[in-house]
């Protein structure tokens, strides 16, 4: 102590420094520290609640805040999804024409009140005029067709241009589907601004534009990102979630469930999707909260009723015809097709995205989007199946063609007009059917090729709808083939006994549904959640077995070509530090082989618990780029005391220089319980025991790497120290493990960029 009286020592434990315990951008959170922080906070509130009524009320409101937050997330996401659906529907119809009684009506709403629609031409009403009728006054003839064609291309280019420019100018993070990044964020990584308010606003607007532009993309994946943005923004209203990164990730897991719930009107499927596909840490409490939030969101969307059919999705169907055991063979065939397509798509899309990253193509995102949009519009317009939006196409393909159907494209219509209404059984193919099958086959090839180059562009793009459309087309083609086979050969051994002449044996719409599930499963590798989403979508409970068979087959087939789904492949392409929980570590190495420093490296940078000055600590921190430093008893003994994070050290030293008298570069830095005795004229010491982790995770140098990888996965560690007989040898970080795994798999270890 100096002569001028005792100086107060600032201890960060008693006097919390703002900023200590927070993280920098592109760093991984420390799950263990965050969870223990939350437990301490909870314990403190519980202890206080026994003392006074006010504290008891505070305790109750704290327990209730999680449910309140879920309610808000559900309401906000449901409202946004409803708005996106309505706006996308309106803008998609705008490419074809405009409503004279009010330009804000889409085609369907425009003709609702009209008394002049006929059954054959239920889409034609005087209130709705195509662009050709407005400009040339007639809807027939080659000139009218060309006018409509050019207007279609014009609107497609305008919408896609607006979408890509808004993303580029205001929120670069709003592009893509967002699911790979959300998976990475939920595993504990921090990407600042990815779930911010600008991203939310721009993603909502550009999603509508991108879907309306007719590009081969869906809005389902981006809706998960939108819901997570809502959750992240609402988290700031509650201290408990604002200040704790692990708690916030529980809310984001629930928000992912909400996203799927509003995208497909499948609340239970959403919860299972979050559990199976995106979440890293999913405790039971999060399961209940996800369920509640998904319920609220689905209810909100149902009250908005965006499609006007009291359903939450455009393609709700109801089949009642039973399926027969013989049909399992074609269903499994569809599963094989889905698996092959999934594996092929992932390879092709990743190769294309890598090319975009490594060549000059990546420097011109606006031109790329415009070229793809123009190509899509030019090729899509002549074929009525590709001209309509993806969701409408799926809805058509799922539908069963009966006489009293409101479907746009009656595949059998040509044959039907001349038949009595009573015949709704299987029927022979008319001329119209062959045309339709040709168009569908062309649509299948077109969709397959264009989706590969569309996914990953700088506009919001989901993959669910295009994948389902491809599967639905393939399924419908197979279904119609089976139907004709059964019609002409009902005396065959396989059809005998269950398919009598004149009966309705085979439902082509069911094949489309199974095909859609198989292709989506092949691309994303979802299983349980996918089957539940599909039967919630279609209300077809009796078709669970065909769906399960096709989904499982597609997963097995696709896994034979490569274990990762499209989202994992994109995570790896972008170099995010994500430890895949599904991937097995099969190599027999020890921690001593992976830890740093290696034999040729300089010694490990450490702090000693006493004897270092503020200037020396600052110099050490400045001269290295490590995220943290082990604290040892002394340089000679190397016995481990704890671990201090770089950010906390810098903030604490900077704060002490401002707030504590006498702290200079020559002041001692002390990590011990009691300050050591000093010379009378020495400056006061700086005590930093409060910022040190006193129980860092350690493994010995002979721990097998597969156990270490398991520890990292299950506890969500950032780093782990390696000791030998209690002496510190080195350190292993999450990035070291990822680099090691990349090396084993013969990939470039420097592809893991962040952290």
Q: Given a cut of 90, is residue 309 above it in pLDDT? A: no
Question: Which pLDDT tens digit goes with each residue over 647-656?
Answer: 999 999 999 9
Distance of CA 682 to the CA centre of its chain: 57
Contacts of 357 (CB under 8 A, 6+ apart): 573
| Euclidean distance between CA atoms 139 and 141, whole angstroms | 7
Q: Are 611 and 668 in contact (CB under 8 A)?
A: yes
Q: What are the φ/ψ torsions at residue 543 (nearest 5 degrees)?
A: -105, 20
* Res 754: pLDDT: 59
Q: Scanning the structure block, which residue is given the tokens 């269950």?
A: 498
* Res 5: pLDDT: 43
Q: Given a cut of 80, is residue 119 above it in pLDDT? A: no
* Residue 309 or 282, more confident: 282
Question: Which pLDDT tens digit goes with each residue over 510-560?
Answer: 999 999 999 999 999 999 999 999 988 877 778 899 999 999 999 999 999
Instruction: Report residue 118's pLDDT band, with 50, 70 and 90 as the boundaries.
Output: low
Instruction: Tell me what percent of the residues of the chain surpass a pLDDT of 70.
Output: 92
Instruction: Tell me what percent of the residues of the chain surpass a pLDDT of 90.
Output: 60
Q: Are 429 and 479 in contact (CB under 8 A)?
A: no
* Residue 681 or 526, more confident: 526
* Mean per-residue pLDDT, 616-634: 92
Q: In what order do the strands lie in the sheet with 698-700?
A: 698-700, 719-724, 727-733
* Res 117: pLDDT: 66
Q: Which of 261, 271, 252, 336 is nearest to 296 (CA)?
A: 261
Q: Given a cut of 70, is residue 622 above it in pLDDT? A: yes
Instruction: Report residue 727's pLDDT band, with 50, 70 and 90 as the boundaries.
Output: very high
Q: Given a cut of 60, is residue 415 above it in pLDDT? A: no
* Res 113: pLDDT: 74
Question: Which pLDDT tens digit goes with each residue over 136-189?
Answer: 888 788 999 999 999 999 999 999 999 999 999 999 999 999 999 999 999 999
* Mean per-residue pLDDT, 658-680: 86
Question: Which pLDDT tens digit goes with each residue over 347-361?
Answer: 999 999 999 988 888
Average pLDDT, the chain: 88
Q: Is 101 helix (H, G, I), strand (E, B) or coil?
A: coil
Q: Scanning the structure block, which residue is given the tokens 């939920």?
A: 186
Q: Given a cut of 70, is residue 387 above it in pLDDT? A: yes
- Spell out the domains of the chain, with CATH numbers in brackets: 175-202+216-313 (no CATH), 325-362+389-413+425-574 (1.10.3080.10), 591-751 (3.10.580.20)
* Res 326: pLDDT: 86
| Euclidean distance between CA atoms 660 and 651, whole angstroms | 13
H/E stretch holding 129: strand 128-130
* Res 530: pLDDT: 95
Q: Given a cut of 80, is residue 752 above it in pLDDT? A: no
Q: Among 442-456, 512-526, 732-746, where is mean pLDDT lowest?
A: 732-746
Q: Given a cut of 60, is residue 405 above it in pLDDT? A: no
* Mean per-residue pLDDT, 679-686: 85
* Res 410: pLDDT: 44
Q: Scanning the structure block, which residue is given the tokens 């008394």?
A: 115
Q: Given a cut of 50, is residue 421 above it in pLDDT? A: no
* Mean per-residue pLDDT, 276-300: 94
Q: Centre a 10 Å sphere on the Cβ of residue 34 and count the other Cβ atoms it contains.
A: 21
| Euclidean distance between CA atoms 658 and 663, whole angstroms | 9
* Res 38: pLDDT: 94
Q: Given a cut of 80, is residue 411 above it in pLDDT? A: no
Q: Given a cut of 50, is residue 665 above it in pLDDT? A: yes
597 upstream amide cis, omega within 30 of 0 = yes
Instruction: Report residue 324's pLDDT band, with 50, 70 and 90 as the boundaries.
Output: confident
* Residue 93 or 493, more confident: 93
Q: Which of 410, 413, 406 is nearest to 117 (CA)?
A: 406
* Res 560: pLDDT: 96
């Amino acid at each position: 102590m100096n002569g001028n009286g005792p100086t107060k020592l600032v201890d960060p434990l008693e006097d919390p420094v703002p900023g200590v315990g927070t993280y920098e951008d592109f760093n991984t959170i420390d799950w263990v520290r965050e969870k223990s922080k939350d437990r301490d906070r909870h314990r403190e509130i519980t202890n206080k609640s026994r003392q006074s009524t006010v504290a008891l009320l505070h305790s109750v409101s704290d327990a209730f805040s999680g449910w309140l937050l879920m309610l808000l997330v559900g309401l906000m996401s449901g409202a946004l999804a409803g708005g996106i659906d309505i706006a996308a529907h309106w803008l998609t119809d705008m490419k074809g024409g405009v409503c004279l009684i009010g330009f804000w009506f889409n085609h369907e709403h425009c003709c609702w009140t009209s008394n002049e629609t006929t059954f054959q031409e239920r889409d034609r009403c005087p209130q709705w005029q195509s662009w050709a009728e407005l400009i040339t006054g007639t809807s027939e003839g080659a000139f009218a067709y060309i006018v409509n064609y050019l207007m279609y291309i014009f609107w497609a280019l305008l919408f896609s241009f607006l979408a890509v420019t808004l993303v580029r100018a205001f929120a670069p993070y709003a592009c893509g589907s967002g699911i790979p990044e959300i998976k990475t964020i939920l595993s504990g990584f921090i990407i600042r601004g990815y779930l911010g308010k600008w991203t939310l606003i721009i993603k909502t607007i550009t999603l509508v534009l991108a879907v309306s532009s007719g590009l081969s993309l869906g809005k389902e994946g981006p809706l998960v990102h939108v819901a997570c943005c809502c959750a992240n923004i609402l988290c700031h209203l509650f201290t408990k979630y604002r200040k704790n990164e692990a708690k916030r990730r529980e809310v984001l897991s629930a928000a992912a469930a909400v996203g799927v719930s509003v995208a497909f009107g499948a609340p239970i499927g959403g919860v299972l999707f979050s559990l199976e596909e995106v979440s890293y840490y999913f405790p039971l409490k999060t399961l209940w909260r996800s369920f509640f939030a998904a319920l609220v969101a689905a209810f909100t969307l149902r009250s908005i009723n965006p499609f006007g059919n009291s359903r939450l999705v455009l393609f709700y169907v109801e089949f009642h015809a039973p399926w027969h055991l013989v049909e399992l063979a074609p269903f499994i065939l569809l599963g094989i097709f889905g698996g092959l397509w999934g594996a092929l798509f992932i390879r092709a899309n990743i190769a294309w995205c890598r090319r975009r990253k490594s060549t000059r193509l990546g420097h011109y995102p606006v031109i790329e989007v415009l070229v793809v949009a123009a190509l899509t519009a030019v090729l899509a317009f002549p074929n009525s199946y590709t001209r309509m939006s993806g969701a409408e196409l799926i809805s058509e393909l799922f539908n069963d063609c009966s006489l009293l159907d409101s479907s746009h494209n009656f595949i059998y219509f040509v044959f039907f007009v001349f038949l009595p209404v009573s015949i709704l059984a299987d029927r022979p193919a008319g001329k119209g059917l062959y045309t339709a099958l040709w168009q569908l086959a062309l649509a299948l090839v077109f969709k397959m090729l264009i989706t590969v180059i569309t996914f990953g562009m700088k506009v919001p793009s989901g993959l669910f709808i295009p994948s389902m459309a491809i599967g639905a087309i393939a399924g419908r083609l197979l279904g119609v083939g089976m139907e004709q086979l059964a019609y002409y050969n009902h005396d065959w051994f396989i059809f005998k006994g269950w398919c009598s002449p004149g009966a309705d044996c085979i439902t082509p719409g069911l094949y489309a549904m199974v095909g859609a599930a198989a292709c989506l499963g092949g691309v994303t590798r979802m299983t349980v959640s996918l089957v539940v989403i599909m039967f919630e979508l279609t209300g077809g409970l009796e078709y669970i077995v065909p769906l399960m068979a096709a989904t499982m087959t597609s997963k097995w087939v696709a896994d034979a070509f490569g274990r990762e789904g499209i989202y994992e492949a994109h995570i790896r392409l972008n170099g995010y530090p994500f430890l895949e929980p599904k991937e097995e570590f099969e190599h027999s190495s020890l921690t001593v082989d992976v830890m740093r420093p290696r034999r040729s490296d300089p010694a490990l940078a450490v702090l000693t618990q006493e004897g270092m000055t503020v200037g020396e600590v600052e110099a050490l921190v400045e001269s290295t780029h490590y995220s943290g430093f082990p604290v040892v008893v002394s340089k000679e003994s190397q016995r481990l005391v704890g671990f201090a994070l770089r950010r906390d050290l810098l903030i604490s030293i900077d704060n002490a220089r401002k707030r504590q008298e006498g702290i200079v570069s020559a002041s001692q830095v002390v990590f011990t319980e009691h300050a050591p005795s000093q010379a009378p004229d020495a400056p006061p010491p700086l005590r930093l025991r409060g910022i040190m982790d006193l129980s860092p995770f350690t493994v010995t140098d002979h721990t097998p790497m597969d156990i270490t990888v398991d520890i990292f996965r299950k506890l969500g560690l950032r780093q782990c120290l390696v000791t030998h007989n209690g002496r510190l040898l080195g350190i292993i970080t999450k990035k070291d493990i990822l680099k090691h795994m990349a090396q084993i798999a013969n990939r470039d270890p420097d592809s893991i960029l962040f952290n």
